[in-house]
Amino acid sequence: MKIERTALTFWERLYLPAVIAGLKVTLRHFLRRKVTMQYPEERWVVPTGYRGAPYLVKDQEGRVKCVSCQLCEFVCPPKAIKILPPGPAVDPATGNVEKRPREFEINMLRCIFCGYCQEVCPEEAIFLMKDYSLTGKSRQEMVYGLEKLLELGGTHLDSIQKWKHK
């Protein structure tokens, strides 16, 4: 079976219309507004409801709010949270809190930012911050300990202060 081809016209043989069409596309992209963001200087505006990295927070007096109940560890789907509760001794620096974690680690490489840990926490000690740039040079740097989690989380001002004496 032989397919007959139509003969090319003079303008089609010059390829000028194709070159002009390509230049129009290039010019259209050149004149369009810029979509490239200069990342370290410019950052995205994080929408409401964004689930970022989980961090621990302190109360108004600067004490650790976590009471080592381990609910966040049990509910974490990828098992990214590890908590070691303390022994029977109570730390007087924690106020009326019965116990605080001896060790609290979140492996940010395993965390899927689901928000279950924030939802299940009875003391509101863990919050998902609007942080999306987690970097580290090694895997060990991406396992955040208690001190780093508290430093990044900061202080959370509660409207209800249940440990404060009147």
Between strands 103-107 and 143-144, the pairing is antiparallel
143-161 pLDDT per residue, tens: 999 999 999 998 887 765 5
Domains and CATH numbers, the chain: 54-153 (3.30.70.3270)
CA–CA distances in Å: residue 93 to residues 61, 90, 98, 113, 134: 10, 9, 11, 31, 31
Residue 134 phi, psi dihedral angles, 5° rounding = -100, 115
More confident residue, 92 or 110: 110
pLDDT in the model for residue 59 = 84
User: Which tokens go with 64?
Assistant: 């650790």
Q: What average pLDDT is seen over the chain?
A: 85
pLDDT over 80 at 88, yes or no: no
Q: How far apart are CA 145 and CA 147, in angstroms?
A: 6
Return the half-sphere exposure (C-beta side, CA atoms, 13 A cut-off) of residue 159. Answer: 0
pLDDT in the model for residue 92 = 59
| pTM for the structure as a whole | 0.69
Residue 52 phi, psi dihedral angles, 5° rounding = -100, -150
pLDDT over 90 at 111, yes or no: yes
Q: 152 near 144, Cβ under 8 Å?
A: yes
